[in-house]
Structure 1
């Protein structure tokens, strides 16, 4: 699925203007690089003048002794020009390479920092692989241009203009018609270049498609292998890479035509001018040294045009890459920070949470309400359990409280302040979340638990692990708390990952605790241990619990029964069973299943 990002209208190298904010902090270095670049170009343009002096002053006319002395001076002058060219070119190369690396790093950091601030709505329509492709492939293209191609293009532009200016100044009658011919080359170049730009953008999009497929499949390897779909997924990836190759082939084909046309047309026009120069020497209008100077300037100009044709293609590719990166940077999260955020009042223990007539549907499902006229008042320190069938809206309640999305109707308040008037950091700083699918980062056990409070001492981390009954298995790991847990915690069982997640929330010690199926991955014994730890952690803290296993919510102060996004009943376990509604049916089914399972084991 293609991302629903805003497509820019820019389809030319003008899209590179999006890099200007990243260039401004390094204006001094850019000026120095330009100075070195102009110096290197000037020394190159000085070579033909030195060659003319060598031919006319050291090889033609005068006696042998005078010519020998003159030749020494001319060759020393040429060597001096060469030394200056080498030093200035090396300085230019270092400066522009530094700028390319630095600006690319800044751009990559800015895009990543912007993307991680986007709400979940952004990732409903944008694949992770697409974002990764832009952070890697597109930024690499930008680096190539800023750190190499742009400098090379500017240098050859200066040399080409300088060479052309010298040719016109020294041979006006011959070169002015050539200049007119060269102007005619521009129009077909623009037409072909427009086609190259479109194909460059399409090529980068196809590469992103294959990256998205790879990211999706590699994150689901156990499922792919369990269904023996390796060959199918390899074929799907092969199809995506073939489409990327075919688009790149068409881009390269059109770009090759562009390069060939520019070089042939330019070289033909210059050869005609050079032919006219040789006729001028035969007529005695100019000296042999003058002709030699003209030949070198023609070579410089032709070489500059050839390089510029290559650089122009690179600029077109980089313009497409910059365009895609700017789309990410310009994407705005619908969950916006308030202009003047309000401060939350200080609390001891739990916070109050209030939902007032909340209505909400997910952006990807605009006709299907997730919550309808949902109201709930949770007192400080109270434990409220949300139960109901799948799709009832239980997890949506937690996501709206965390302000991953904004409601379409009603409002949500924390300690009497609407969540839309709070900064996201302040709001989420008061909330600890233990999700159903535990996220384990590719880091040590210590760092994974400390993610809840990065400045926590190691003793505090261990205390949280003890409370979540995670200390024993962590201590048994090869390096204890320093053990690297692998990508997505592949070295841990599901129950161990869940207990790491619980320890992370306990270390944060927030006034509000959200438990979304927090014990779903635990065996019976581990569940009892963790349930005891959670009950201890819930004391004096406002807690919202989601659980399909009703045994985990029996001790809640209130149980809120939900169905189709609405509250259909509220009460304690005993009250709800006595009323015989939806909760009673859910409880009866679950306890019947539990009894059947126990009987099967006993049998």
Structure 2
């Protein structure tokens, strides 16, 4: 499984999927054009400069033709052009200066428009993503979503800044070049066109083979990279079992497969390159040869032949660039479709503006579940909660216990409205949860999870995440109540200590106490403790438990626990099994039931 995931990720990074270009796909991506509207004036000016740049490029072969003709004593028929070689040379440099000028502003304007439009798309995609419901994230990997914002949008950016402009430029050069080829010499043009189908057919056949071999090489290279990744991640096991030689042989075998495919690909690429070189230079040689025959017979002037060769180079270069440009457009359409999938998702009723997420209706702390039935949207056939009912009065401690998979953590997700129950209702202070604003519920419910995620900032910033406008004194007070202040000031930088990605510089107990300080700062009406002490050592558990007692004081607490010793003082203990409430009562009441699940779980933990 690890290998498959890695291969998929690597392939995605190496080559973005392509989409077919048709009316349906073009209609889909038209949704992104709205991001260009604020910058349409600059975009149109850039297009004008692009058009001028292409036209000036087509003028050079004509000027060279006139210059060479005049040098040979064959004056041009173009009366509007200068008739001396020096004057034509000065005119050519003047046009070259104009082309350089418009090319600078073309690139400058396209890059500005693309960067600003892409920044807008990135912002909207990110804002949309963070306001989507939890079910959206349950069905997708973080790497995949990150790729939408990075790789996919970078592909769209490249298309707007480079590919789109280059396609228009090459189309102008192609159409203009072919037109001028026909005007210059119809006979040479027919001769040129006769060998074109052969080159195109060879390009299609070789191109497919080369692309397939490239993909195979990428997959095999991804496999070899997986060997490295797995070996380094499990280096302790490798050394403990003295399997260095085995891993070395495995990597060597994988690399040999990569080399074998690469050599096969080199054969195809070499053959294709040889064929193209023969056809390309053969075509130029043939044109010059046939053109020389026409010059010799008096059917063509030398300057016309020179102009024809230059226009042929323009046309050939334009045609040669279209396969890559077309592939880039396919990638951009595919990338656009994936970004639009996110933008078209239905988000939660949460604003990205803090002022619009203020608490409008206070919750005192009473909580009720009434006949709740729930199955995760991604696994609708599996009922996780089946007819769950319980009441928690404001300020009470309600413990929820049961074996793994009984549905304990699902209850926490439903309280926070991460998901909607299929049947039944949840009440806050006797009022249906759906009658509250989503932000009102989440602003007044706090959770301390088992696996605390800390952001890559400072300890101060991580605690302040519970209340973004908190003063430093409030943060320090929360840390003191959470038994975190002492270890924080023990760091050289104190509260300005950077905790690192996922808080890896802190122990589990320290992270838990920062999470408790964060929850204290939030001052919620309802507190959820989702196995907050299950993975701690005895000393850390004692410190965290003391902090939790302060945190739970005066507020409704829903305690999800494996360690039954931590919930003896709960007002009510609800025992879940296979999504149903099988027992409820105080510790003293439940421990007396010899046949009960609670008694059985207590015995397993040696709690009599």
Query: Structures share a fold, TM > 0.5?
Result: yes
TM range (shorter): 0.7 to 0.9
Quick one: distance in 1 between partners of 2:312 and 2:107? 25
Please, which moves more after superposition, 28-37 or 230-239?
Answer: 230-239
2:561 to 547, 550, 558: 547
1:452 to 466, 477, 499: 466
1:587 pairs with 2:602: yes
Question: By how many angstroms is 1:236 displaced?
Answer: 9.6
1:148 to 149, 162, 166: 162
Question: By how many angstroms is 1:47 displaced?
Answer: 0.6
Question: By how many angstroms is 1:303 displaced?
Answer: 2.0
Matching residue of 1:27: 40
2:312 to 295, 298, 315: 298
Matching residue of 2:12: none
Please, which moves more after superposition, 393-402 or 99-108?
Answer: 99-108
Q: How many positions carry a matched residue from both structures?
A: 582
1:60 to 57, 73, 81: 73
Give secondary structure in 1 for the equivalent of 2:84.
helix
Question: By how many angstroms is 1:192 displaced?
Answer: 7.7
Q: 1:195 to 1:558 in 2, by over 3 A?
A: farther
- TM-score, structure 1 as length reference: 0.80
Question: By how many angstroms is 1:46 displaced?
Answer: 0.9
Give secondary structure in 2 for the equivalent of 1:308.
helix
Give secondary structure in 2 for the equivalent of 1:492.
coil
Give secondary structure in 2 for the equivalent of 1:376.
strand
Matching residue of 1:50: 63
Q: 1:337 to 1:570 in 2, by over 3 A?
A: same
Matching residue of 1:443: 457
Matches within 5 A, 1:71-470: 71-172=85-186, 174-175=188-189, 178=192, 182=196, 276-329=290-343, 332=345, 337=349, 346-347=361-362, 349-350=364-365, 352-363=366-377, 365-420=379-434, 423-470=437-484
Q: 1:21 to 1:359 in 2, by over 3 A?
A: same
Quick one: distance in 2 between partners of 1:396 and 1:169? 76
Quick one: distance in 2 between partners of 1:536 and 1:457? 20
Quick one: distance in 2 between partners of 1:519 and 1:368? 29
What stretches of structure 1 of length at least 5 have no aligned partner?
Answer: 63-67, 594-603
Q: 1:253 to 1:480 in 2, by over 3 A?
A: farther
Partners of 1:349 and 1:540 within 8 A in 2: no
Question: By how many angstroms is 1:161 displaced?
Answer: 1.5
Spell out, residue by residue over 1:304-347, the C-alpha distance to the aligned partner (whole angstroms, 9 max, x if none).
222334433444444444455455555x47x85599x9998733
Question: By how many angstroms is 1:363 displaced?
Answer: 4.7
Computed over aligned residues only, the root mean square deviation of the Cα atoms, in angstroms, reads 4.6
Spell out, residue by residue over 1:207-248, the C-alpha distance to the aligned partner (whole angstroms, 9 max, x if none).
999999999999x87998898899799999999999999999
1:40 pairs with 2:53: yes
Question: By how many angstroms is 1:77 displaced?
Answer: 0.8
Partners of 1:359 and 1:371 within 8 A in 2: yes
Q: 1:177 to 1:72 in 2, by over 3 A?
A: closer
Partners of 1:96 and 1:146 within 8 A in 2: yes
Partners of 1:369 and 1:565 within 8 A in 2: yes
1:11 to 12, 17, 20: 20
Give secondary structure in 2 for the equivalent of 1:545.
strand
What stretches of structure 2 of length at least 5 have no aligned partner?
Answer: 9-15, 76-81
Partners of 1:355 and 1:375 within 8 A in 2: yes
Question: By how many angstroms is 1:567 displaced?
Answer: 1.1
Partners of 1:468 and 1:533 within 8 A in 2: yes
Give secondary structure in 1 for the equivalent of 2:417.
coil
Give secondary structure in 2 for the equivalent of 1:154.
helix
Partners of 1:206 and 1:240 within 8 A in 2: yes
Partners of 1:138 and 1:325 within 8 A in 2: yes
1:567 to 581, 588, 598: 581
Question: By how many angstroms is 1:397 displaced?
Answer: 0.6
Question: By how many angstroms is 1:287 displaced?
Answer: 3.2
Matches within 5 A, 1:492-511: 492-511=506-525
Q: 1:534 to 1:111 in 2, by over 3 A?
A: same
Question: By how many angstroms is 1:278 displaced?
Answer: 3.8
Question: By how many angstroms is 1:386 displaced?
Answer: 0.9
Partners of 2:155 and 2:331 within 8 A in 1: yes
Quick one: distance in 2 between partners of 1:428 and 1:222? 43
Partners of 2:18 and 2:327 within 8 A in 1: no
Question: By how many angstroms is 1:392 displaced?
Answer: 1.9
- TM-score, structure 2 as length reference: 0.79
Q: 1:455 to 1:544 in 2, by over 3 A?
A: same
Give secondary structure in 2 for the equivalent of 1:561.
strand
Quick one: distance in 2 between partners of 1:13 and 1:39? 30
Please, which moves more after superposition, 37-46 or 260-269?
Answer: 260-269
1:556 pairs with 2:570: yes
Partners of 1:359 and 1:408 within 8 A in 2: yes
Q: 1:209 to 1:48 in 2, by over 3 A?
A: same
Give secondary structure in 1 for the equivalent of 2:170.
helix
Partners of 2:458 and 2:496 within 8 A in 1: yes
Question: By how many angstroms is 1:44 displaced?
Answer: 0.8
Partners of 1:391 and 1:564 within 8 A in 2: yes
Spell out, residue by residue over 1:438-470, the C-alpha distance to the aligned partner (whole angstroms, 9 max, x if none).
111111001111111222222221121111111
Give secondary structure in 1 for the equivalent of 2:400.
strand
Spell out, residue by residue over 1:453-510, the C-alpha distance to the aligned partner (whole angstroms, 9 max, x if none).
2222222211211111111111111111111011111211110010001111111112
Quick one: distance in 2 between partners of 1:321 and 1:255? 28
Question: By how many angstroms is 1:360 displaced?
Answer: 2.0
